[in-house]
């Protein structure tokens, strides 16, 4: 949980998921600009478009890369450079296994919320619906497109969770529209 997680873990997560990805992209942008073509594929996550309890730093880093990629896309599009974010759901990788850093639980108030989430993640680790080989094939299809999408959801769970988030967001916007526009002069 956010309150239990040291800020150093957040820095490490952002170093890998944001600063690392941006550094790699920046290493190619000047070359792509000069030749007026190129393709940057940044891997975010459904967690970059939808949040989940217990992985605030992960989701935050993926949201950050999603936003940076969107800006990069608008800056580079006039020069023939494509930028797409891949937003995978759960795939049969080690994401929820040994590669996940787990902070020691220290605040009992969160047990009822988070213990079932942690148990569920561990139970499906390695058994996720998403097939990594099919993801790789989808990426090869993506990079061959003349007009690739700005972002590509991968997996039925990503589609389900992100669509639900968009629906909730639209409901929130509609519910608060009067207060939103009340600030105009």
- Bridging pattern class, strands 38-43 and 81-88: parallel
Whole-number Å distance between alpha carbons of 59 and 55 = 6
The H or E element containing residue 65 is helix 56-76
* Three-state secondary structure call for residue 36: coil
Q: H or E segment at 88?
A: strand 81-88
Cα→Cα distances 152→26, 37, 93, 180, Å: 21, 20, 19, 30
Buried/exposed 133-145: b ≥16 CB within 10 Å, e otherwise: eebeebbeebeee
* Residues in the chain, overall count: 185
Write phi, then psi, for 40 (nearest 5 degrees).
-105, 125
| Residues that are catalytic | 58
């Amino acid at each position: 949980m956010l309150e239990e997680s040291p800020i150093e873990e957040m820095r490490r997560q952002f170093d890998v998921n944001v600063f690392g990805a941006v550094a790699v992209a920046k290493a190619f942008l000047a070359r792509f600009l000069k030749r007026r073509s190129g393709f940057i594929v940044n891997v975010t996550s459904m967690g970059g478009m939808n949040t989940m309890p217990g992985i605030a730093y992960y989701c935050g880093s993926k949201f950050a890369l999603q936003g940076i990629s969107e800006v990069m896309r608008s800056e580079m599009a006039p020069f023939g450079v494509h930028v797409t974010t891949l937003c995978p759901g759960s795939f049969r990788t080690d994401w929820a296994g040994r590669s996940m850093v787990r902070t020691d639980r220290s605040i009992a108030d969160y047990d009822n919320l988070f213990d079932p989430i942690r148990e569920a993640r561990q139970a499906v680790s390695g058994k996720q619906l998403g097939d990594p080989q099919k993801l790789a094939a989808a990426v090869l299809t993506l990079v061959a497109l003349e007009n690739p999408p700005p972002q590509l959801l991968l997996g039925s769970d990503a589609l389900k969770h992100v669509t639900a988030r968009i629906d909730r967001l639209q409901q929130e916007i509609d519910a608060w529209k009067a207060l939103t526009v009340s600030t105009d002069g």
